[in-house]
Amino acid sequence: MIEIQELTRTFGATTAVDRLTLTIAEGEVFGLLGPNGAGKTTTVRMLSGLIGRTSGDATVAGFRLSDPGSARKLRGAIGLLPEEPGLYPDLSAAAVLDFYGRLYQVPAALRADRIEKLLTLLSLWDRRDAPARTFSKGMRQRLAIARALIHDPPVLFLDEPTANLDPEGAKTVRDFLLELRRERRTILLSTHLLDEAERICDRVGVLHTRLLAVGPPAELRAGRHGHVTQVQLAEVTDAVLAAARVAAAGPVEVTGGAVAVPVGDPGRDNPALVAAIVAAGGRIRFVTEATTSLEDAYLTLLGSTQHGNPQPGNRQPAVTQLEGTTLGGPQ
Amino acid sequence: MSARNVAVVAAKDLRITITKRSARLSLVIFPLVIAVGPPLLARFTGAGHHGVPAVLMPRVLDAFTFYFVIIAAVLPTAIASYSLVGEKIERSLEPLLATPVTDGEVLAGKGLAAFLPPIAAIWAASVLFMALCDELTRGELGRLYFPNTTALLIVGVVAPLAAIFGVEYSVLISSRLSDVRPVHQLATLSVLPFAGVYVAAQVGAVTLDQPTLAVIAGALAALDAVLFAATRATFRREEILIRWA
């Protein structure tokens, strides 16, 4: 549904997006993670046909960015929620949707149906005739989401959909996004909220001018650190440590009464690890899997980038390809 | 260019315009003052308060008719200024430009929405003006002065061209500023060339006869074409999203 090849955008001497290559499958929800200034909005704008690209190309819903003849059709096939809702404060919610429905050439009867359906789904139907200026931030954001859906697009670009919303407003929007996910729409969600990405997205990519890593959130978490089994013991002896090191896939760390043992596959390796520790005289209190948060993984990725100080045109391995994943979407 | 898209954008902007009390008032008050004030001046001022002498009356009435050109240049600037700067302030251009509408269609729709209400108000006011003038000067002149070719040329040709000038000039200023008030203040300077023509006519440097008005209309049409090209060059989506914000 979305195929991006070496997409690059520079502004003067500054490279905003550097050789982005990615495939997002039909029905997939893909989260584009990154700090402010990472190139997320520029990417969304390029894919929406709002701004041009410096090099590279992309196909969105079957339309190539490089084909100027299909620009109008491309924009008709996508729904965009920009960072700011960008509503008309003097127009009512229904009038805003009616205006956009007309621009997308949605027939009148269908337009009326969609306006009612979307405003009802987003809990705005009772306020349909109220000017948008009387809406709360959360209501404006919901109205902007309804606007992005008025023409029932197969592809949605959502730029920071819950930014600046209070927890209740953010939850309402997230619940609606989960509903969209169930409808199997192709969604590119740009966010810096990792928890949101983990809950909503099938896969995520970490962008910091370049795409640093891509994969399902769980694998992104595990991908940088591998799996670590934490064994809490009554006492850590040299014999226990030696047994743990034999079974470990990497350096073993000791913290208080616990040993953290990297393993390749916990399901396969943990029974042997436990047996080895018990055989060495270790008295195990409990065994858990040490989890790395997505935030840890994300910060590690960004930290390594900042230390690596990537420069435009610096051709180092650009993407961490996670175990079992490809840059393409789920097949 | 899709006329349908232009009409949709224009209808939206018109809808927003009519919600604004200040816009409604300016569209009514200025044309009404021009429609009523000058005929009363022509009739009830002058030597012995018997009005302007009949021999001077045609020249005075033509000069008064030219007031409609002056307000045509300035009235659309308020609507055009808000139309673009308002979208900047509300950040509503990005979702608008993400639709299948082209830059030219947005620009044309906005221009139409800024042009139509003032010109409709001016035409309505000019009918009132001419009727009042005829009523008040018929006795002095012994005939109905309006309508005549000169007045129709002023109101029907020069005033719309002046309004287009005001709209395009406002668009150009709007591209550089992000606050409605200074944009509107600068945009009202569009009145200067027309005020200059009026003053020149009053001091006898030019005569507002049909050949002169035809030359003014031709020059304005050429200027409008140049400004239209300049606004098209300015109003490009990439320029708007990256530099205007």
Whether pLDDT at A315 is above 60: no
Whether pLDDT at A317 is above 70: no
Of A76, A88, A147, the CB nearest to B90: A88
ipTM: 0.85
User: Distance between alpha carbon B156 and the CA centroid of its chain, in Å?
Assistant: 12
pLDDT at A310: 43
Q: Where are chain A's structural domains?
A: 2-221, 226-290
Q: A55-91 pLDDT, tens per residue? A: 999 999 999 999 888 889 999 999 999 988 999 999 9
pLDDT at B234: 82
CATH code for residues A226-290: 3.30.70
User: Which residues of A fall below an 8 Å CB-CB distance to B?
Assistant: 11, 45, 48-52, 72-73, 75-76, 78, 80, 82, 84-91, 95, 99-100, 102-105, 131, 144, 147-148
Are B100 and A90 a contacting pair at CB < 8 A? no
Q: How far is A192 from chain B (nearest CA, A)?
A: 21
- Cβ-proximal residues to A212 (8 Å cutoff; 6+ apart), any chain: A205, A206, A301, A302, A305, A318, A319, A320
A with B: how many residue pairs have Cβ under 8 Å apart?
A: 76
Structure token pair of residue B143: 């005939």
Please tell me if residue B90 touches chain A, with a CB cutoff of 8 Å.
Answer: yes
Are B95 and A105 a contacting pair at CB < 8 A? no
Are B16 and A48 a contacting pair at CB < 8 A? no
Mean pLDDT rounded to a whole number for chain B: 88
Spell out which residues of chain A touch residue B237, defining contact as CB-CB under 8 Å. 50-51
Q: How far is CA A256 from CA A234, A259, A273, A289, in A?
A: 10, 8, 19, 17
Are A51 and B100 a contacting pair at CB < 8 A? no
pLDDT at B245: 57
Please tell me if residue B245 touches chain A, with a CB cutoff of 8 Å.
Answer: no
Are A80 and B102 a contacting pair at CB < 8 A? no
pLDDT at B3: 93
Interface list for B 9-28 with A (CB within 8 A):
9, 12, 15-16, 19-20
pLDDT at A62: 92
Of B5, B20, B241, the CB nearest to A50: B241
* Amino acid at position B231, single letter: T
Closest-approach residue (CA) in chain B for A157: B98
Whether pLDDT at A312 is above 70: no
pTM of the model: 0.80
Give the other-Cβ count within 10 Å of B128's Cβ.
Answer: 15
Of the candidates B245, A91, A128, A194, the one whose C-alpha atom is nearest the C-alpha of residue A142 is A128
Please tell me the least confidently modeled range out of A112-121, A212-221, B64-73: A212-221
Spell out which residues of chain A touch residue B2, defining contact as CB-CB under 8 Å. none
Spell out which residues of chain A touch residue B4, defining contact as CB-CB under 8 Å. 105
Q: How far apart are CA A244 and CA B98, in angstroms?
A: 58
Q: B46-86 pLDDT, tens per residue? A: 555 566 777 788 888 888 999 999 999 999 988 888 888 88
Spell out which residues of chain A touch residue B109, defining contact as CB-CB under 8 Å. none
CATH code for residues A2-221: 3.40.50.300
The 3-state secondary structure of chain A, one letter per residue: CEEEEEEEEEECCEEEEEEEEEEECCCCEEEEECCCCCCHHHHHHHHCCCCCCCEEEEEECCEECCCHHHHHHHHHHEEEECCCCCCCCCCEHHHHHHHHHHHCCCCHHHHHHHHHHHHHHCCCHHHCCCEHHHCCHHHHHHHHHHHHHCCCCCEEEEECCCCCCCHHHHHHHHHHHHHHHHCCCEEEEEECCHHHHHHHCCEEEEEECEEEEEECHHHHHHHCCCEEEEEEECCCCHHHHHHHHHHCCCCCEEECCEEEEEECCHHHHHHHHHHHHHHCCCCEEEEEEECCCHHHHHHHHHHHHHHHCCCCCCCCCCCEECCCCCCCCCC
Rounded average pLDDT over A99-106? 96
Whether pLDDT at A331 is above 50: no
Whether pLDDT at B228 is above 80: yes
Of B93, B98, B241, the CB nearest to A75: B98
Whether pLDDT at A218 is above 80: no
Q: How far apart are CA B153 and CA B68, in angstroms?
A: 11
Mean pLDDT rounded to a whole number for chain A: 85
Are A100 and B95 a contacting pair at CB < 8 A? yes
Spell out which residues of chain A touch residue B93, defining contact as CB-CB under 8 Å. 86
Are B93 and A50 a contacting pair at CB < 8 A? no
Q: Where are chain B's structural domains?
A: 3-244
Are B100 and A78 a contacting pair at CB < 8 A? no
Question: Are A51 and A45 contacting, i.e. CB atoms less than 8 angstroms apart?
Answer: yes
Spell out which residues of chain A touch residue B7, defining contact as CB-CB under 8 Å. none
Are B238 and A91 a contacting pair at CB < 8 A? no
